[in-house]
Structure 1
Amino acid sequence: MNPSAFRQRRRDLLACALLATNLFLILFSYYLLKTVRESWILVAPEGVFFTGPKLKSLATALQALLLLALVPFYARLSQRIEPRKLLLRFTGYFVLCMLGFALALGLSLPYFGFAFYVWLGTFNVAIIAQFWSFATSVFSRDEAMKLFPTIGFGATAGGFVGAKAAGLLFSFGLSLPAIIVLAAAILILHCGIYLWVGRLRRSARGETTGKEDALSGHARAGSRLEGEEGRAIDGIRLVLRDAYLRWIVALIVLLSVVNTTGEYLLSEAVVLEAKRALALAGEVDPRAFTAAFIHDFYSDFYLAVNIAAIVLQVFVVGRLIRMGGIRAALFILPILSFFAYGLVASSASLLLIKWVKIIENGSDYSVMNTARALLFLPTSEEEKWRARQVVDTIFVRFGDMLSFVLVALVGLLNLPLSVLALLNLALVLVWAFAALQVNRGFELRSAGGLAQLASR
């Protein structure tokens, strides 16, 4: 290897390590904030209908609506603002929002927990999209194919360590507002790493070339995003006119409804257990005690979910698909969910619901995420790019909104929480039927593709 190529490879590896570190910091800070949001929104004033878990369910539905508007809004901004300035401005906006929320939490301002919950959902989508936009602008296609899997490991590690750190920091006496400020400081550090990587790549390619690459990449991104809203409409049309894609949508919507309703059941169980613990705690500040209880619970919960997802991804997913194909990947989660919510309907204890959600979320993040990627293999290029985007955004969020409708109806009718578990049980049966139809469509499409290849 000549000296020039060696220096280039060293720069590439350094840029890869820096971006993996940046993705680690993003997910680390997100999980710090995620545990804060749970304790903040669930510790709410009594006496109104939309409080605690119900307020969280409403926030999830509103978050879904805002996310539908986020992509075209970001697309318009990216056409008007140079990429480096857009990155700095967005990061500055996020930091200022975090500091404002930390102040609101410190002052115990009402319903800011609701606003924080909604905001954090948009933050997560925007900051991750911004990261990958930057990463694709500094690496060529061949470089990206080699380096992105390594960079992506930063997300897995960041989620795991962030969930663990959230509990440890709080146990060491760091307050919830201070944790938000810490996340803001991490975000400033992550912005500095962006600038470092940018300088590194410019030194590798030359100042002029680097600028031309960035601007041309920005122009290409602008032209791609210019028709984002139109492509969303085209994607919906593609989905509605194809039976296979319609069954995929049905499967994704049902999965989303069941999962989000399960999150609500978990929130209700956590709040109820916190009240029981408070009754036994003696003379303590009720609000501070409840917030600490919920924070500790969710930091342990998110840590367990991340561990489950990693173990399943590393040791189970590949073997499951090799042995049972797409059918096994599609049916494992509804089967687990059916037995799990059957148990929850009979005994809705916090420990039971916690382990149900750990298994469900861990399987969703590993097995089901892989299955969803595989489902679009026997589709056209247009369906891969347009229909899948619509399925992964609009229809997933539509499931969140349907879950809120169920939660609101059960609350307004004063029905017991076991009714939601029974509804989930019924929805899982419909979900399994949709999985059967999707598997049939996948096999037919795959067989058709093989037949076309054989006829050539």
Structure 2
Amino acid sequence: MSAPTLAARRGLGIQPGEGSAVVAGFLFFFCLFASYFMLRPVRETMGIAGGVRNLQWLFTATFVVMLVAIPIYGLCSARLPRRRFVPWVYAFFVANLVGFALATRAAPDNLWLARAFYVWLSVFNLFVVSVAWSLMADVFRPGQARRLFALLAAGASAGGLAGPVLGGWLVPRIGLTGLMLLSAALLAATLPGAGFLFGWRRRAGAGVPVADDPVLPQDPARPIGGGLWAGLTLVARSRYLLGIGLFVILLATASTFLYFEQARLVAQTFPSRTQQTQVFSAIDAVVQGLTILVQVFFSGRIARRYGVTMLLGVVPLATGLGFLALALWPAFGVLAAVMILRRVGEYALLRPGREMLFTVVDAETKYKAKNVIDTAVYRAGDAVSAWIKTAIDAFSGHPAVVALTGAVLALGWAWLGWWLGCRHEGRAGTEPPAARLEAAPGRPGGA
């Protein structure tokens, strides 16, 4: 290997034997996020088509569907080996996409089909992304995650950039049905990557214990076990997991407040559905382009030098400042800047940091408790904050009240990120594997 190549790999934090896994993980996330972001602008337009004032009902419907899906997911993950479970989840959603493509071709203007697609895509994106990061937390050791997760997340950002660009260019040529079929093909392309990563785990990843980074080498060929509601039970018994859940709720609250303001200002500023789709696509493209730059050149260095604590704390503080700016100048340009800042920070810093928190827990927690937090807890935060936003608007009648509320919540969000970062650093560096998941009295090994 040439000297420039070695220097580049060292600068990116890639050690010998890890390059193939980084490439596989990068391509895995690229295909996954290109598949989702290709359809995201369509979802936003469909949400506005049903009325901005009805968005809270779509958020509530999404949360209800999540509650129905959680026990089904828990049953499947308990009985299927992880090597089979992950591909089956993606194959299921590929079949869903094909079904929506056929239904949309038969009834392209059906409002209820548009609403169903909005809810489905809101469920789909959380489940597939949660399972993807569960896979990565299962494959990589904590030390590897700190060095490499930002690079893997760059694959997600690259896919998130390619998806809306391809979607905006192709939709006039192949239509919405063709776009959905292409999205299904990209999602299916992730299946070989999952198999490769599980194989690499056994050779050089979390399946190989090392003295300075101890883990329990749990075999992905064996089922995780546990009950249908084991994920909820694990979260309820652990202060560490409850803290992560509250962190996700505050993230969802900030996102929802800004999302509703975005929908309101876009509807006011751009009356045409075509213009609205173009605006959403442009914002997505800018976000993903900036995110890639931050992930490749800054995220890994920040994680290696300052740890998870910095990744989880700086974005909430910046979001709080953005809310204050929005309270003073409630214009579309200011909102767009705040939205871009928050989303770049979430994808480049928060997301890798959040996923690192799960590298120090067991397999059941990685796949079950994590999925509950990433799906049901996140959508619960969405639904509750959507109704809170609606109530604040009804009583105050001024968007500045929502912005100030968001700024106050962002301060608590930043403190919680600092607390979680400190807990993770302690577990990754000093605690034995059996003691990593802090539990309440009554759980084996609990405090």
Q: TM-score, normalised by structure 1?
A: 0.69
Map of 1:260 onto structure 2: 256
Return the alpha-carbon distance in structure 2 between the equivalents of residues 179 and 342 of structure 1: 39
Runs of at least 5 residues in structure 2 that lack an aligned partner in the other structure: 1-18, 199-218, 436-447
Map of 1:179 onto structure 2: 176
Report the residue type matching 1:114 in the other structure. R
Q: CA RMSD in A?
A: 4.6
Map of 1:229 onto structure 2: 229
Return the alpha-carbon distance in structure 1 between the equivalents of residues 241 and 334 of structure 2: 35
Is residue 2:335 matched to residue 1:332? no
**Secondary structure of 1:251's aligned partner:** helix
Give 1:15 shift: 12
Query: Compared with structure 1, are the counterparts of its residues 35 and 431 closer, same or farther at alpha carbon in structure 2 (3 Å cutoff)?
Result: same
Give 1:194 shift: 5.3
Match among 87, 98, 102 for residue 99 of structure 1: 102
Give 1:361 shift: 0.7
Map of 1:220 onto structure 2: 222
Does the Cα contact within 8 Å between 1:70 and 1:122 map onto a contact in 2?
Answer: no
Return the alpha-carbon distance in structure 1 between the equivalents of residues 133 and 303 of structure 2: 28
Query: Compared with structure 1, are the counterparts of its residues 314 and 429 closer, same or farther at alpha carbon in structure 2 (3 Å cutoff)?
Result: same
Match among 429, 433, 447 for residue 411 of structure 2: 429
Does the Cα contact within 8 Å between 2:94 and 2:187 map onto a contact in 1?
Answer: no
Map of 2:301 onto structure 1: 319
Is residue 2:26 matched to residue 1:60? no
**Secondary structure of 1:56's aligned partner:** helix
Return the alpha-carbon distance in structure 1 between the equivalents of residues 404 and 395 of structure 2: 15
Map of 2:289 onto structure 1: 307
Match among 392, 395, 417 for residue 410 of structure 1: 392
Paired residues for 1:307-456 under 5 Å = 307-375=289-357, 381=362, 385=366, 388-413=370-395, 415-438=397-420, 441=423, 449=431
The C-alpha deviation readout for 1:37-96, integer Å capped at 9, x for no partner, is 11122133xxxxxx22x3334323432332243243245467599978887665333201
Aligned residue pair count: 388
Return the alpha-carbon distance in structure 2 between the equivalents of residues 188 and 346 of structure 1: 45
Return the alpha-carbon distance in structure 1 between the equivalents of residues 319 and 153 of structure 2: 28
Does the Cα contact within 8 Å between 2:58 and 2:115 map onto a contact in 1?
Answer: yes
Return the alpha-carbon distance in structure 2 between the equivalents of residues 309 and 358 of structure 1: 10
Give 1:119 shift: 0.8
Give 1:31 shift: 1.4
**Structure showing the higher helix proportion among its residues:** 1
**Secondary structure of 1:311's aligned partner:** helix
Q: TM-score, normalised by structure 2?
A: 0.70
Runs of at least 5 residues in structure 1 that lack an aligned partner in the other structure: 1-12, 45-50, 202-216, 276-289
Give 1:232 shift: 2.8
Return the alpha-carbon distance in structure 2 between the equivalents of residues 109 and 350 of structure 1: 30
Give 1:315 shift: 1.7
Report the residue type matching 1:98 in the other structure. A
Report the residue type matching 2:344 in the other structure. G
Map of 2:158 onto structure 1: 157
Map of 2:40 onto structure 1: 34
Query: Compared with structure 1, are the counterparts of its residues 433 and 135 closer, same or farther at alpha carbon in structure 2 (3 Å cutoff)?
Result: closer
Does the Cα contact within 8 Å between 2:93 and 2:124 map onto a contact in 1?
Answer: no
Give 1:302 shift: 0.8
Does the Cα contact within 8 Å between 2:60 and 2:383 map onto a contact in 1?
Answer: yes
Does the Cα contact within 8 Å between 2:258 and 2:339 map onto a contact in 1?
Answer: yes
The share of aligned pairs that are identical, in percent, is 23
Does the Cα contact within 8 Å between 2:161 and 2:285 map onto a contact in 1?
Answer: yes
Map of 2:14 onto structure 1: none
Larger radius of gyration: 1
